[in-house]
Amino acid sequence: MAAPTSEPLPSPRRRLARALALHCPECGSGQLFRRWLFLQERCPRCALRLDRANPDHFVGAYLVNLIFAELLFAAGLGIWLLAVWPNVPWDRIEVVAVAAMILSPLATYPFTRTIWLAADLIFDPPKASDR
Ligand SMILES: [Zn+2]
């Protein structure tokens, strides 16, 4: 049985917008991360469990992170190749590509984590056990 609430559930668009700003998709509160890569256990305002009870929740966030980071990398590489074609500096691209492949998932991790949480909340709204 869900806890009674006085506020209506946020719309999917609002949840995703809050997630993109690294805020709680439910209440809009910030400070969901202790540090860049370390998510709080619960939202500091609404006490929503940020790593939901579903054991596959982290796998979904990881998958979104991987897809988003690699798409970002591919777009950057494509733009770089188009800008310098046909004199492509392959040696420099090799070094930058390795660094980008390592750093881009770390840079996008907090965003993909909150976006996945928002998507999960859209399809599976919070229950009393999530608080
Ligand atoms: Zn919250």
Over residues 7-23, mean pLDDT: 93
What rounded mean pLDDT belongs to the chain? 89
Number of structural domains found in the chain: 1
CA-closest candidate to residue 31, choices 108, 112, 110, 124 = 110
The answer as to whether 3 is a domain residue is: no
Range(s) of the domain holding residue 119: 12-130
Strands (E), the chain: 33-35, 38-39
Distance 102 CA to ligand 1 centre (A): 31
The answer as to whether 5 is a domain residue is: no
The answer as to whether 1 is a domain residue is: no
Distance 57 CA to ligand 1 centre (A): 17
**Count of Cβ atoms closer than 10 Å to residue 90 Cβ:** 7
Distance 103 CA to ligand 1 centre (A): 28
The answer as to whether 6 is a domain residue is: no
Q: Residue 1 — pLDDT band, cuts 50, 70, 90? A: very low
The answer as to whether 4 is a domain residue is: no
Over residues 67-73, mean pLDDT: 89
The pTM score is 0.81
Distance 42 CA to ligand 1 centre (A): 8
Check residue 119 and give its pLDDT: 93
pLDDT, tens digit, 9 for 90 and up, residues 99-128: 998 898 999 999 999 999 999 999 988 888
Evaluate whether 104 touches 12 at the Cβ level (below 8 Å).
no
